[in-house]
Structure 1
Amino acid sequence: MPARVSAITAPAVQAAAPRAPFWTMRRRDALAGYLFVAPQLVGVALFVLMPLALVVWYSLHEWNVLAGSFDYTGLQNYQALLEDPELPGVLRATALFSAGLVVLNLSLALLLAVLVNQRLRGMTVFRALFFSPVVVSLVAWTIVWGFLLQKDGGINGILAMFGVAGPNWLRGETTALLSVIVVQVFKNVGLNMVLFLAALQTVPRDLYEAARIEGAGRCVQFRRITLPLISPTLLLASIITIVGSLQVFAQIAVLTQGGPGISTTVLVYYLYQQAFQFHAFGYGSALAVLLFAIVAVLTLLQWQLRRRWVFHES
């Protein structure tokens, strides 16, 4: 009889047991985290992922705004990329521009950071002076440099004082590309300089003192101590600079309009010409997809190679 009573009352006891609350501490923390990141996720979805998907969709169509037509063509625009006779020259100009910009920008920024990192009077003024072009309007900066680089502009005026006849910088195939690179380097070198300066100031001074005691010179200290310890910042600056170099448009549009010939027609400006001047929006979208692929491959390549030269990466 007692066994029967216990068997009957067991389900009742189980039913009366209190349930665990749904909103546990862990779930409340997770909900708070999702709410904090929701605005950023919505922004990325609306302004990054959706436009990227639309560009890929447009690249599969022939879209003529003037005629009002929007016809599906499949991979025809990508086939046109392979057959475009001007695209190799555009890619060559893009590669030369990006390589020159990255090398000069990073080298000059690191040199300036080392110089202004000295504990001397007036260094704050020099830091502000080198960084000031970053906050100047890009179009205004480019227009001023356009006047300076003319045949009778300020650069050639300075050279004439030393008996040197300067060229028409923006009309020669070699000098035009070099001029645009220099203008862009001087515009943004201050940003990388500030990044390198912040990294240099985190390097422990004790390491330099120990190296001097061991007889290491300044070059050895820079190569064996400074560069390894600021290598994470070098990686960040290189990624930012390479991606930025592939997106330069305003300087080309204001200074050279892609000329002479196509010597300064980088991929972004060629994309603009095809889409907004020739109204070939489908082909322009295919060029945009190509640009995205190049940026993604270069970024992933740098990220994979970081294990070989970035300190503390394994």
Structure 2
Amino acid sequence: MTVVASPSELSRRKRPYWTMARRDSLAGYVFVAPQAIGIAVFVLVPLLLVFWYSLHEWNVLAQTFRFKGLENYHRLLSDPGLPEVLIATAIFSIFLVVFNMSLALLLAVLLNQKLRGITVFRTLFFSPVVVSLVAWTIVWSFLLQNNGGLNGILDHFGIEGPNWLRHPTTAMIAVVVVQVFKNVGLNMILFLAALQGVPKELYEAARVDGIPAFRQFRRITLPMISPTVMLTSIITIVGSLQVFAQIAVLTQGGPGMSTTVLVYYLYQQAFEFHNFGYGATLSILLFVIVAALTFLQWQMRKRIVFYEN
């Protein structure tokens, strides 16, 4: 008895495996593969290794590598210096984010005006971003010395300047100011691009209605650039938690532990005291803090970004 296949069955049998849909899918995977491999090799694998090292006591000088379980995490909870480090980190991050974003937005608003020579000022404010971080910090370390350039300028006006890097309060102020001036140009450029994308018709309609400039800024400018505000806030907060070179060059965490932020404390434990296991535990703590703050900011986007719902 002969079974005759239906036309639909014949078409399915003759259909090639590499259909257009499969080719499109393969092309997509090929394009995504380099980024996925990079994330796996340079992010996921190191993160897993750091967690593995945090479960061990690793002393390179003694060439010992012993499994300790959660002992490093118990040490983290009972570390007497950690609260002071976290307070210094919070103070540095809060002041850096507030001053950086406020100054960047103010400069962007000023530079958005059509004035003569404005291009020169844009270049001037952005130039510190492309300068070497270590070179920038070394120059400021000379300026902030007790007999440095800043106190020399103050002495010219009859003002006796403090030893900026040897007092807890002024040392923190100095580190924040150096970091703000270094990176404010990047946020300024992002804000400037966002301001130039705001439709001019909105301001014209507001002026026709007699709305003052401050209310225009609050009701039109800020909502329209809110996606950029969201982006810059995430970048600035994450960057503030990862600061290291400025602390290492300017204050070495001092005086006392007043400027010892979490990343520098991690460096001290791992590379000065050779407690690599505990250093890895501190890096896990830093990762948790950064991830939590980023997630919190992302959840707040519905209140910050005007078109999110």
Q: TM-score range by the shorter chain?
A: over 0.9
Cα distance change on mapping 1:120 and 1:77 into 2, 3 Å: same
In structure 1, runs of 5+ residues without a counterpart are 1-6
Q: Deviations over 1:59-91 (max 9, x none)?
A: 011111111111111111010011100000000
Partner in structure 1 of residue 228 of structure 2: 233
Partner in structure 1 of residue 287 of structure 2: 292
Identity value in percent: 71
CA distance in 1 between counterparts of 2:204 and 2:107 reads 23
- AA in 1 matched with 2:282: L
What's the CA shift for 1:14? 8.5
CA distance in 1 between counterparts of 2:68 and 2:285 reads 17
1:127 lines up with 2:119 in the alignment:
no
- AA in 2 matched with 1:63: W
Mapping for residues 158-307 of structure 1, pairs under 5 Å: 158-307=153-302
Q: Deviations over 1:88-126 (max 9, x none)?
A: 000000000000000000000000000000011111111
1:50 lines up with 2:45 in the alignment:
yes
What's the CA shift for 1:311? 1.1
Query: What secondary structure, in the 3-state scheme, does the structure 2 residue paired with 1:260 have?
Result: coil
What's the CA shift for 1:19? 2.2
2:88 to 90, 93, 97: 93
Partner in structure 2 of residue 10 of structure 1: 4
**Structure 1 stretch 14-23 or stretch 40-49: which is displaced more?**
14-23
Partner in structure 2 of residue 118 of structure 1: 113
CA distance in 2 between counterparts of 1:118 and 1:11 reads 76
**Structure 1 stretch 15-24 or stretch 160-169: which is displaced more?**
15-24
1:31 lines up with 2:23 in the alignment:
no
Report the structure number with the largest CA radius of gyration: 1
Cα distance change on mapping 1:163 and 1:15 into 2, 3 Å: closer
What's the CA shift for 1:309? 2.1
What's the CA shift for 1:260? 0.2
CA distance in 2 between counterparts of 1:14 and 1:241 reads 60
1:73 to 56, 68, 72: 68
1:102 lines up with 2:97 in the alignment:
yes
Contact 2:191 2:225 in 1 (8 A): yes
- AA in 2 matched with 1:283: Y
What's the CA shift for 1:9? 3.7
> TM-score under structure 2 normalisation?
0.97
Q: How many residues align?
A: 308
- AA in 2 matched with 1:249: F
- Deviating beyond 2 angstroms after TM superposition, the runs of 4 or more aligned structure 1 residues are 11-19
**Structure 1 stretch 166-175 or stretch 59-68: which is displaced more?**
59-68
Cα distance change on mapping 1:223 and 1:16 into 2, 3 Å: closer
Cα distance change on mapping 1:304 and 1:10 into 2, 3 Å: same
Query: What secondary structure, in the 3-state scheme, does the structure 2 residue paired with 1:10 have?
Result: coil
CA distance in 1 between counterparts of 2:308 and 2:8 reads 55
